[in-house]
A and B are shown apart, each in its own frame.
Chain A
Amino acid sequence: MTLIQEFDQLNYSQALESDAEAQAWLQSKGRRFGHYINGAFVSAADAQLIDVTNPATGKVLAQIEAATSAQVDQAIASAREAQPSWFSGGGLGRAKVLYALARNLQKYARLTAVLETLDNGKPIRESRDADIPLAIRHFYHHAGWAKLQHQELPNHGPVGVAAQIIPWNFPLLMLAWKVAPAIAMGNAIVIKPAQQTPLTAMLFAQICHESGVPAGVVNIINGAGETGASLAVHNGVDKVAFTGSTAVGRAIRLATAGQGKKLTLELGGKSAFIVFEDADLDAAVEGLVDSIWFNQGEVCCAGSRLLVQAPIAKQLHAKLKLRMQQLRTGSPMDKSIDVGSLVSQQQFERVATMVSEGLQAGGEVFQTQSIDAPQNYYPPTLITGVDTSHPLVQEEIFGPVLVSMTFRTQAEAISLANNSRYGLAASVWSESINRTMDVAPKIEAGVVWINCHNQFDAACGFGGVKESGFGREGGKEGLYEYLKPTGLTPMTYPLSSTDITIVSPALNGTDSIDRTLKFYVGGKQVRPDSGHSQACYNHDASVAAIVGVGNRKDIRNAVSSALKSSSWTKNSAHGRAQVIYFLAENLSLREGEWLERLQAVCGYTLAQAQAEFDAAIACLFTYAGWCDKYDGAAHNAPYQGVTLALPEARGVIGMVAPSNQPLSSTIALIAPAIAMGNRVVLVTSERYPSIALELVQVLETSDIPAGVVNLVAGPQADLSKHLAGHGEVDALWCWADSETNKSVEQASGTDLKTTWTHVDADRDWADPLQSEGLEFLRQATNVKNIWTPYGD
C-alpha cells in the first residue's frame, strides 16, 4: 500500500512482538521440562509427556513430564528438609531472597511476558502491563513482610510445607500470589502449575536458582489434575492452596477432609457489575471492557453479570454495543489488539457450547464478529433479555461473555447481586458516595470495586465468600493463610479425672428440685424436637441435670432464628460492646453459684474453679473491648484512591464446643463471634452440656437479642454434620475428635463454607494467650477490600 493510500485509510499497525528470544530459550531447554526439585532440574527419560500448545497457532511449544508419585514424594521431602532452616535463618535473609526474586523477575520481564502470551494466548499488552508487573510487585511487597514478620506477626510461625496448585489464566501471577507469601513467612513449597501453561513457572525455577533460593524451599512439579490431586492429599503437606474451578476446589476439600491441613480455595465467580442511573455511563462502558474483556474473560472475578438500573439500560446497552465494535480480536502477540485467544481449543469449545446451549433458554446475543474465527478467538459477546433463572446467568462461563439484566431499586440491585452461589467480587458504578458506600458492604463478596473493576495489588487482599472459596491472598490477611499460632499447650484437664458411664434416661433419685435444661433457640428456652432427654453428670457421678438430646431439626430451628437476628450485625460496635459488658456483669453477679457448679461438675478445687470463672469474665472484657477497635485498614495501593480493608461479620457461625474447661471455652468461642456481629449456633460439649446451658439464664438477662446466641446439646458427631451441611451457616468452628472433624470438613464441601477445625482439647482455654485474641477475631470476620478511586 502506498503512503497516500495509507493516508486515506489510517489503519493501525500490526505490531507483532518478537518471540525469537522466547523460542531460543525454549530451544535451549530442549523444549522439554521435568521438575524443579531440591534446587535441581530433574527429568526422567521414560516420563509420560504432555504437550504444551500455543493456543493462537496450535503449535506445540514444548513438552512437560508428568510427575511420578516418587517425584511428588521427593519434592515434598525436600521441602520438609529445607523448611526449618529457611525459617530459622530469619526474616532479613528471607527478605533478601524475595528481593532478589523481584529484581531478577524484572530483568527477565520481557522474556517472561512473551512466554506467558505464547503459552496462554492472552494479549502481549496484558502480559507486559498487568501480569508480569503485578507478579514482580508481589515479590517486592512480600520481601517487606519477611523482614517485618518478627515484629508484626508475633505468636505465629510458618505452617510448614505448602502444596500449591494454580490455574492457567494468570500463570505467573498466580504463582507469585502463592509463592511470595508462603516463602516470606518461612514455609517451603511445592507448586504445580497448570499443565496448559507451565512455561513461566519453569522460567521462574531458573530465576529461583539464580536468586539464591535455598534448595528445597521452592519445588515446582509438572503434571495434570492427577498430579495436583496427589500433591493435595499427600501426608507430608501441612497446607493446601488452590486457585481454580469450584468443582476441583470442592474435590480438594473433600479429599483433604480430616487431614488436619490448612486450606485456602480461590474458586469461581459470577461477579456483579452494578450500574446505577447516576453513574458515568462512559466510564461504566470502559469498566466493562476492563472487566469482562480483560484476559478474554478468563478471569475468576470478571464482572460477567451486568446489572443495570432500568431507566438507563437502553442507553448503556447502546453505548456498549458501539464500544464493542472498537474491540479488536486477533493475534495475542500483536500490541494493537484487545482480545486474544482462549487458552485452548477445549476451552473455546466449552465457551461456545455453553453459549449456544444457553441461548436455547432465550436471550438475545450481540457479537461483532463470527465465532468461526480461527485460533480460538471467541468474540466479545453481550447477551440481553435474560433473567435470574437463565443458565448463562447462573453458571460461570469463563470467557468473554457478558449477560445483562435490569433492576429497579438499590435494594433490588443488592439482592440480585447476592443471588448467586458465588461471592468473589463486584463493582458498583455511581457518582454518589452515599450510594456506593452503602451498597459495597452489602454485597456478599471479598472484593468490591467502586467505579472500577479488576484492580489488583499485593497490599490488598483478594479472595471470596460462598462457593468462591475461602482465604485471602495479598495484604496482611493473606499472610495468616501461611501461619499458625504458636504456644498452644494441649489440655485434657479436667476430662480424664473421672470415667463416668452414662445411662439414659438417668433418674437416680436426688432430693433437689428436678433440673431439666432446655435448649436456647431464638431467645427462648425450647424442648428438644426429639422429645428425648438424658442425664449429665457431676464429677462424683451424681446427676447434674437432665438435658435434651438435639437432632437435625433443632439445628435447623437454631440456624433459622440466628438468620433472623441479622439486626445484631448492623448494630453499632459500641452497642455490641455494651451488651457484652452487661453479660460479664450478670455472670459475675452469679460468681458464687458458678464456683460451686464448676467444682461439682468438673471436680475442680475452689482455686481451679475460680481460675476458670475469672478467665471467662476476662474473656468477655477482652471482646467487649475489641468490639469497636478491630477496624481493618486503609491500604495505600499504587493508584489515586484508597482501598479499605473492612473486617465484616461472617454471618451465622456454627460451633462445636471443646470438652475441656467448659465455661471458659464456651465463652471464648461465643464472645469473639458476637463481638464482631456474628450470630452463633453452638453445640455444647458432650461431656459438660449443662455448663453451657446454665449460661442461658445469664444470656436471657443481658439484652442479647433473640437468636444471636443459640445453644443445642446432643451428639456432636451428628449435630456437627448438620451444621456443616447447612447452607445458611457461613462458617463452622469445631473442636472435636478427628472423625468428627473429617465429617465436618466433608459436609462443608456442599457449599464450601469456611471451617476452622481442631483436635479437641488442643489448648488451655484459661490461658488468654491461647484462648483470646486476633486469631479468633480473624476467624469471626471476612476481610472485604473496597477499592475507592477518587478525583474530580
Chain B
Amino acid sequence: MAKKAPISLVKSTLSATASGDAELVRNPGMALDLQHLDKIRVNKSAVVRRCAGYGARRSIKKQQQAAWLLKAISLIDLTTLSGDDTEDRVKRLCSKAKQPVGMALQRQLGIEAMNLSTAAVCVYHEMLGAACESLAGSGLHLAAVSTGFPAGLSPLPLRIAEIEYSVAAGADEIDIVISRRHVLEGNWQALYDEVKAFRKACGPAHLKTILATGELGNLANVAKASMVCMMAGADFIKTSTGKETENATLVVSLVMVRMIREYFLLTGFYIGFKPAGGVSDSKTALLYMTMMQEELGRRWLEPDLFRFGASSLLGDIERQLDHYDSGNYSAAYRHAIA
C-alpha cells in the first residue's frame, strides 16, 4: 500500500492511535529540491519555547508512565561503541537487549506475554559477528555504525565498502555519518549524492543518517541537512554519534521532527527519528516521546519510526519500573547491566 497521502488524509494519519500498522513502504527518496531547501526557516527562540512546553503541558504518571516506559524500552537501540568493545561484552549487551527487564519484575508487572525486547542492538562492524550470533532468531534488529564513524572522513569508496561489508556481515540497519563539511560549505548536492550512494550500498538494510547536529553550526543547517538526507533516501534521521561535545537535545530534535513532518506532507513517506547521546534517564525519554506524539502522532511511537540511541537509559527505566511496582526506589546493582 503506497503511503502517498494527500493533505486531507494527513489529519487522520498524524493523529492515528492505532499501532502495528502494516509494514511501511520505504522512502525511495526524491530529486534534490534546492528551492524547497531555500525556503526553510528556523527560529531558535520559538523552538526553545515550544520545547519547554512538552513537560509542562502533558502529564504521564503512574500506570501510563509505566506503559510509556515499557514502550521506551521497545524503542531503544541498545548501543556500545567503545574502543574496548569485545565479543563477550557485545554478547552481554545482546542478552540484555533480548531481555531488558528482569523476569521477576516482568512477572510483577504482568507483562511476560509482551516478549519485551529493545528494538535493536547497535555496534561497530567488527562486533557484528558476535551480535549476529547472539541475536539469531530473536527478531531484534542489528545496527552497525558505518562510513568512518564517528568523523566520516575516510575515503568515500572505503566508506561505501564499509556499508557493504556490514550488510554482508548481517546488519539490517546501517547508521552512517554524513560529511559535516558538505553542510558547513552549503554543498547540498554533495551531501545528497553521498547519502544516495550510501543508500544504494545499503540494499535492503535500512539507512539511518547521523547528522552530528552538534557540529552543524545552527538549526537551519540541521533542518536543511535533515531534508537533504530524506530526499536522498534515508529511512531514519538521527541526531548524533554520541561522540560530539553536544549530542541529542530536545531543541535539535524538534527541528528534525518538523522536517520529517514536512517531508511527509511533501511526499507521503514516513521517515523515522533517532535521538542519540544524551537521553539517559526516564524523564528525558518521556519528553522525547511526548514531542513525537504531539508533533507527529501516535504512529511515530513505534520502533519502525522512532528509536532511542542509548546505553544507560535502559538501567534508569528499569529502576523506574521497579519503583512503579514496589513504591521504593531501587538500586542500580539490583538490575542486570548491559
Contact = CB atoms under 8 A, between A and B. Distances in A.
A451 B59 CA distance: 28
A196 interface: no
25 contacts: A4-B111, A7-B67, A8-B19, A10-B68, A10-B293, A12-B59, A12-B64, A13-B62, A125-B56, A280-B41, A280-B42, A280-B43, A282-B258, A283-B42, A283-B46, A286-B50, A322-B14, A336-B58, A336-B59, A451-B43, A452-B46, A640-B45, A789-B45, A789-B46, A792-B218
Contacts of B41: 278-281, 431
A6 B301 contact: no
B25 interface: no
A129 interface: yes
A326 B294 contact: yes
**Chain A CB within 10 Å, residue with most, of B59, B63, B298:** B59
A450 to B, nearest CB: 9
B57 A336 contact: yes
A321 interface: yes
Interface string B52-76: 0000111111111111101100000
Contacts of A2: 110
A638 interface: no
Interface string A647-675: 00000000000000000000000000000
Nearest to A290: B49
Contact of A13 (B10, B11, B49, B61): B61
Interface of B: 7, 10-11, 14-15, 17, 19, 41-50, 56-68, 70-71, 109-111, 113-114, 218-220, 258, 265, 289, 293-294, 298, 301
Given A15-B59, A322-B11, A325-B11, A792 B44 contact: yes
A10 B20 CA distance: 13
Contacts of A280: 41-43, 46
A13 B65 contact: yes
Interface of A: 1-4, 6-15, 125, 129, 278-283, 286-287, 290, 318, 321-322, 325-326, 334-336, 338, 431, 451-452, 639-641, 789-792
A10 B15 contact: no
Given A4-B110, A4-B113, 14 more contacts: A3-B63, A3-B111, A4-B114, A10-B293, A13-B61, A15-B61, A280-B41, A281-B41, A282-B258, A326-B294, A335-B57, A335-B59, A789-B45, A791-B48
B57 A791 contact: no
A325 B17 contact: no
A318 B45 contact: no
A287 to B, nearest CB: 7
A1 B63 CA distance: 9
Contact of A641 (B14, B45, B220): B45
A791 B45 contact: yes
A44 B42 CA distance: 60
Contacts of B64: 6, 10-13
Interface of A is mostly: loop
Contacts of B71: 7, 10
A11 B17 CA distance: 9
**Chain B CB within 10 Å, residue with most, of A4, A15, A283, A641:** A283
Nearest to B45: A789
A129 B67 CA distance: 28
B56 A431 contact: no
Contacts of A12: 58-60, 64
A286 B49 contact: yes
A3 B66 contact: yes
A452 B111 contact: no
A334 B60 CA distance: 12
A287 B293 CA distance: 19
A280 B58 CA distance: 24
A790 B265 CA distance: 29
Given A3-B109, A452-B46, A9 B17 contact: yes
B110 A3 contact: yes
Contacts of B294: 326
Nearest to A286: B50
Contacts of B43: 279-280, 283, 431, 451
A454 to B, nearest CB: 11
Q: 4 tightest A-B contacts by CB?
A: A283-B46, A6-B67, A15-B59, A789-B45
**Chain B CB within 10 Å, residue with most, of A2, A280, A334, A640:** A280
A283 B53 CA distance: 13
A282 B293 CA distance: 16
Contact of B47 (A8, A125, A283, A338): A283
B15 A325 contact: yes
B57 A338 contact: yes
Nearest to A318: B7
Contacts of A6: 63-64, 66-67
A7 B60 contact: no
B212 to A, nearest CB: 18
Contacts of B11: 321-322, 325
A639 B52 CA distance: 13
B118 to A, nearest CB: 15
Nearest to B221: A792
B227 to A, nearest CB: 13
A271 B14 CA distance: 31
Nearest to A432: B41
A734 to B, nearest CB: 44
A6 to B, nearest CB: 3
Contacts of A129: 56
B45 A7 contact: no
B312 to A, nearest CB: 23
Contacts of B48: 640, 791
A792 B298 CA distance: 30
Contacts of A287: 46
B266 to A, nearest CB: 11
A214 to B, nearest CB: 38
A13 B61 CA distance: 6
A318 to B, nearest CB: 6
Nearest to A429: B43
B46 A7 contact: no
B74 to A, nearest CB: 8
Nearest to B301: A10
Given A12-B64, A15-B61, A640-B45, A792 B220 contact: yes
Contacts of A318: 7, 10, 265
A479 B17 CA distance: 53
Contact of B59 (A4, A10, A13): A13
A322 B46 contact: no
B70 A7 contact: yes
Nearest to A283: B46
Nearest to A281: B41
**Chain A CB within 10 Å, residue with most, of B11, B50, B57:** B57
A2 B66 CA distance: 11
A763 to B, nearest CB: 47
A205 B190 CA distance: 68
A10 B45 contact: no
Contacts of A641: 45
Contacts of A279: 41, 43
A325 B8 CA distance: 13
A282 B66 CA distance: 31
Nearest to B298: A10
A125 B57 contact: yes
Nearest to A325: B15
Contacts of B62: 13
Given A3-B111, A13-B61, A321-B11, A791 B68 contact: no
A279 B42 CA distance: 8
